[in-house]
Amino acid sequence: MTILVTGARGNVGRRVLDRLHTAGHTLRASGRTPGELSVPAGVDTVRLDLNEPDTFDAALDGVEKVFLYAESEGAKDLFAAAAGAGVRHVVLLSSSTVGGPDAETDALALLHAAVEDALAESSLPGTVLRPGAFDSNAFGWSDAIRRGQPVELPYTHAHTAPIHEGDIADVAAAALADETLVGRTLTLSGPQSLTFREQLGILGELLGREIPVRELTRDQAVEQMGRFVPAPILASLLGQWAAGVGRPAATPDTVERITGRPARTFRQWAGENLGAFAAQD
C-alpha cells in the first residue's frame, strides 16, 4: 500500500511524511518541484500541481491513501482522478474556520469549505482535519523579537488555542492508519487558550527578557499587514481576532483522544524553536 503525501515541503506535510516513514509505510511525496523535496531515504518523489491535471496520473499511480492540503482550484479534478486510480481514503487538512460562526462569509472558511465540499461530493472516503491557529504563526514575531523591537499587533488580548504542527501530523498519521476514522471531521487545537500577549509572555520568560508589545488599531493593522496579506484573508484574520478578545478559545481534546497523549503546549513549541527568537549579536 502506497500513501501519497502532498505538500511535503510544508510544516505539516513533512512531519506526516516522517511519522509514516518511521512506521514503515510505503510512501510517495509530491510537490510542484519534487527535486527540491528533502525526504527520508527510500521515499519516492513525484511532481503534482493541482493546476496541471496532467500531473495527476503519475502521482496517483498505485496509491491507496492520500494526505492532502489543497486549495479549491483543481480539487474536484484531483478527487476524480484519485477515485479513478483506486484511492480509498483521503485525509484532508482543512481549517476550523469552516465550522466557525462566520463560515458562510469568512474568506478563509470559504476557501477550505470548497475543498471539503469537493471531497464530500466525490466518491472518496475521507477524514477531514480542522486545526485552528498554528503555534508556528509566532514566527511572524521573530524578526522584531530578535532585534529587541516592539511586536506590533492588533487585538493583543484576542484568544486562540494554537496547535503544534507535530500534533496535526500525529493525528493525520493516525487517521491514515486507522480505518475507524474514515468519515470523521476532527476539530484540532492546542491544549490552552492563550492571548497573543500571553504567548509573547511565554516567549519572554524562555528568553529571559521582556518582549515589548505595541497594540495597533484595526486601520493600522490593515495598512501594515495589507502589504503582504490579501485583503479578503486579512479581513478574515482581523474578524477572528476581534471576536476572540475576552473570549477564551475552545480546546477540544481531539489530539489526546486520537494519539493517546496530551497535546503539546505552546511553551513546548517555543522551547523547541527558541533559537529563531534569540537576540542578534
What pLDDT, in 10s, does the model give residues 80-117? 999 999 999 999 999 999 999 889 999 999 999 999 99
What integer is the mean pLDDT of 145-166? Answer: 98
User: According to the model, what pLDDT value does residue 183 have?
Assistant: 96
Distance, C-alpha 117 to centroid of its chain = 19
CA distance 57 to 61: 6
Distance, C-alpha 227 to centroid of its chain = 23
What integer is the mean pLDDT of 136-158? Answer: 97
Q: Report percent pLDDT > 70 for the chain.
A: 100
Q: Which residue has the higher pLDDT, 140 or 281?
A: 140
CA distance 9 to 32: 10
pLDDT digits (tens, 9 = 90+) for 47-69: 999 999 999 999 999 999 999 99
User: According to the model, what pLDDT value does residue 255 have?
Assistant: 98
Query: Above 80 in pLDDT, residue 182?
Result: yes
pLDDT digits (tens, 9 = 90+) for 186-203: 999 999 999 999 999 999
Residue with grid cell 509530491, as numbered in its chain: 30
Query: What residues form DSSP beta bridges with 4?
Result: 28, 66
Q: Report percent pLDDT > 90 for the chain.
A: 91
Nearest to 7 by CA among 58, 42, 45, 41: 45
pLDDT digits (tens, 9 = 90+) for 237-258: 999 999 999 999 999 999 999 9
Query: Above 90 in pLDDT, residue 162?
Result: yes
Q: Which helix (H) or strand (E) element contains residue 92?
A: strand 89-93
- How many other CB atoms are there within 10 angstroms of residue 92's CB atom? 26
C-alpha cell at 73: 482550484
CA distance 214 to 48: 42
Q: Do 4 and 63 contact (CB within 8 A), yes or no?
A: yes
CA distance 230 to 226: 6
Nearest to 58 by CA among 125, 124, 2: 2
Nearest to 87 by CA among 114, 111, 56, 118: 56
CA distance 75 to 192: 33
- Taking the CA of residue 175 as centre, how many other CA atoms within 13 Å lie in the half-sphere pointing to its CB? 32
What integer is the mean pLDDT of 217-235? Answer: 96
| Residues 6 or more apart whose Cβ sits within 8 Å of residue 219 | none
Domains by residue range for the chain, with CATH: 2-124 (3.40.50.720), 135-161+191-249+264-277 (3.90.25.10)
**pLDDT class of 73 with cuts at 50, 70, 90:** confident
User: According to the model, what pLDDT value does residue 141 have?
Assistant: 98
User: According to the model, what pLDDT value does residue 101 have?
Assistant: 87
Query: Above 70 in pLDDT, residue 281?
Result: no
Query: What residues form DSSP beta bridges with 45?
Result: 29
C-alpha cell at 120: 464530500
